[in-house]
Amino acid sequence: MELLLPLALPPYPFKLTDQNGQLFIFDEIRKKQIMLTPEEWVRQHFVQYLIRVKGYPKSLIKLEGGLRLHGMQKRSDIVVFNAQGQKILMVECKAPDVVIDQKVFDQIARYNITHRIKILAVTNGLQHYYCSIDFENSAYQFLEQPPDYGSL
């Protein structure tokens, strides 16, 4: 799989470096070089989309945050907080060659048992799905795009 595959997200001028034949990408959120994998390529594009298009502040985005689920350690790809520190958006990123199927939706739903976040997103960089969760009525609604930060 080609690492720098064009995605269905706006392109960004990422800082890439080659270290002994391995590509690394500078992560503005974690402020360090991260080994470039197809999933990381998607994650970095989606973070920039949230920041530059949707207005989410960098300081309120957490990448690969840990959580415990049924005694097991898991990692959520992207979690965004509001100014009060409440989690408002969770994104599950997959590599472009991973099909977004029921298993992927089940994965983010399991993670959300712990988080209880109202807006969920799943992407492989080519396809994106967004969902608003109504916990009180045990219902959900698909969205065309994630809300702008200012509307939350």
Distances in whole angstroms, Cα of residue 121 to Cα of each of 11, 89, 99, 147: 19, 8, 15, 11
Q: What is the pTM of this model?
A: 0.91
pLDDT of residue 111: 86
Residues 6+ apart with CB under 8 A from 152: 82, 88, 119
Mean pLDDT across the stretch 68-88? Answer: 80
Distances in whole angstroms, Cα of residue 83 to Cα of each of 61, 86, 120, 149, 152: 11, 7, 18, 11, 10
Task: Go through the domains of the chain in sequence order and give each one's CATH number.
Answer: 16-145 (3.90.1570.30)
* Nearest to 115, CA basis, from 90, 135, 143: 90
Measured from the Cβ of residue 83, the count of other Cβ atoms closer than 10 Å reads: 11
pLDDT digits (tens, 9 = 90+) for 26-61: 999 999 999 999 999 999 999 999 999 999 999 999
Contact 88, 82 (CB under 8 A): yes
Pairing of strands 87-93, 119-123: parallel
Enter the tokens of residue 95: 């590599």
Contact 78, 46 (CB under 8 A): yes
pLDDT digits (tens, 9 = 90+) for 98-146: 999 999 999 999 889 878 999 999 999 999 999 999 999 989 999 999 9
The average confidence (pLDDT) of the chain is 91
